[in-house]
Amino acid sequence: MAWTWYEGCITRIEHISVHTRRFWLEVEGVEDFAFKAGQFITVDLPIGEKRTERWRSYSIANPPRGGSVLELCISDQGGPASRYFFDEVKEGTGLRFKGPSGVFVLPKDLPEEIVMVCTGTGVAPFRSMIWLLYDSGYEGRVHLIFGTRFAWDILYRREFEVLQEDWPQFKYDVVLSRDEQWTGRKGYVHQVYLEAYGEVAPNRLFMLCGWRPMVDEAKKHLLEELGYQAEQIKVELYG
């Protein structure tokens, strides 16, 4: 398969949490970089010789509203790629990338209800999808369930809280596993959908994005315990 490679430039960086930053990447020579909400780009980083060492994929966090700027939401995982972004990348840094890629996108025929379950930066593709659904006047229900360890690592918190107030069809739940000061839900994301969706509905879609242990456990709960069909579940693995 022939890949289209692009050159881009970082135009803005924002600290979104203790361990996560937002990076805005402007695509050079392109007026409208077309992509589907949920897709990702693969960046060729100067951190090794082999392709497996250099290439890292990141979901596009902004919705496809036209234009040539892409937003990436990247956490510091301690590896060479995240260390490059956190220690070396500045405003004006050039990046070479290919894409968009990926099939973790909204279905053509939208269901009546979409339940999005994620941990950490797995929220990035969902942010793109949620704003696309909002912009398009989607009349179904959207439930975003976000899990992390501490309150300071809740990504896009205020944005989703405001959206929940503005958009009646949107529900937003946060679950923290290690924050003793947190007064909201404590534990893991699984308890939220297990409580809310124990009664199977045929026109409901679950979308799961995050680390493999969370995704695998969620699939097992949904398929084996609750009895949903495999076609009602879409997954994207991070890491």
The pTM of this model reads 0.96
Question: Rounded to 10 degrees, what is the CA torsion of 67, 234, 21, 11?
Answer: -20
Mind listing the pLDDT tens digit for each residue in 135-146? 999 999 999 999
Fold of the domain built from segment(s) 5-101: Elongation Factor Tu (Ef-tu); domain 3 (2.40.30)
Q: Count CB atoms within 10 A of the CB of residue 59.
A: 28
The residue whose two tokens read 């890629």 is 101
| pLDDT computed for residue 1 by the predictor | 53
- Domain map (residue ranges) of the chain: 5-101, 113-237
Q: Count CB atoms within 10 A of the CB of residue 212.
A: 11
Output the furthest CA–CA distance in the chain (Å, rounded): 51
**CATH says 113-237 is which class?**
alpha beta
The structure tokens listed for 239 are: 């890491």
| 72 vs 62: CA distance, rounded Å | 8
Mind listing the pLDDT tens digit for each residue in 167-177? 999 999 999 99
Task: Please indicate whether the domains covering 5-101 and 113-237 agree at the CATH topology level.
Answer: no
| pLDDT computed for residue 93 by the predictor | 98
